[in-house]
């Protein structure tokens, strides 16, 4: 149960785009910034476009730019854009199968195991939602040479 690398790529790319300002940047240069496979990064950024976090501009001088300020984008938005919004734990209702399932009437209440795992899932998503990319950007700005390097590499 490992999260896709695309989440890390997406987060750093969003932060880089914010440090550069408004203009669109192509996936090729964004990939070069962190030595990532360009086409595959492009694929991940398409997920962010569909989720409304990025806007894509076709043609020469095109690329991707932020759809809204980083303060309005939470970690949860990014994770769910890449990974989907499926639950970490998927209940397959095995309580209704096999010899035990046949000996019990159709349950009317939700599976207690499922509910317990969902509580943890909710805590995770809530913690993700409580942190915006602007918070991380602020953290990064404590070391100013990072922003300078980004502008120097991509600007």
Q: State which of residues 48, 70, 75, 81 lies at the interface with a second copy (CB under 8 A).
A: 75
Residue with tokens 């910034």: 33
Distance CA 30, CA 114 (A): 40
User: Quick one: 59 or 105, whose CB is closer to a second copy?
Assistant: 105
Check: CB of residue 14 under 8 Å from CB of residue 78. yes
Distance CA 102, CA 125 (A): 36
Binding partner of 150, given a second copy, DNA, none, CB within 5-8 angstroms per partner class: a second copy
Q: State which of residues 73, 116, 134, 155 lies at the interface with a second copy (CB under 8 A).
A: 116
Distance CA 155, CA 22 (A): 11
Query: Which among 31, 3, 6 is positioned nearest to 17, based on CA atoms?
Result: 31
Q: Could you list the residues that contact DNA (CB under 7 A)? A: 1-2, 4-6, 24, 26-29, 37, 39-40, 42-43, 45-46, 49, 56-64, 83
Question: How many C-beta atoms surround the C-beta of residue 33 within 10 A?
Answer: 17
Binding partner of 63, given a second copy, DNA, none, CB within 5-8 angstroms per partner class: DNA
* 45: contact with a second copy by CB under 8 A: no
User: Quick one: 54 or 79, whose CB is closer to a second copy?
Assistant: 79
User: Quick one: 71 or 127, whose CB is closer to a second copy?
Assistant: 127
Least CB distance to a second copy at residue 49 (A): 21
Binding mask 76-105 for a second copy (x = CB under 8 A): -------x--x-xxxxx-xx-xxxxx-xxx
Token output for 69: 């300020």
Distance CA 83, CA 39 (A): 18
């Amino acid at each position: 149960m490992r999260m896709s690398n695309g989440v890390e790529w997406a987060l750093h790319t969003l932060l880089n785009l914010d440090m550069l300002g408004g203009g669109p940047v192509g996936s090729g240069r964004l990939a070069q910034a962190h030595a990532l496979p360009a086409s595959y990064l492009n694929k991940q950024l398409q997920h962010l476009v569909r989720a409304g976090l990025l806007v894509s501009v076709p043609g020469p001088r095109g690329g991707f730019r932020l759809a809204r300020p980083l303060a309005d984008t939470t970690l949860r938005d990014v994770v769910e854009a890449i990974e989907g919004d499926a639950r970490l734990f998927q209940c397959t209702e095995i309580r209704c199968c096999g010899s035990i399932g046949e000996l019990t009437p159709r349950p009317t209440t939700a599976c207690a195991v499922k509910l317990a795992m969902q509580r943890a899932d909710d805590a995770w998503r809530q913690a993700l939602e409580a942190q915006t990319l602007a918070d991380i950007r602020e953290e990064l700005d404590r070391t100013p040479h990072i922003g300078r390097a980004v502008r120097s590499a991509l600007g």
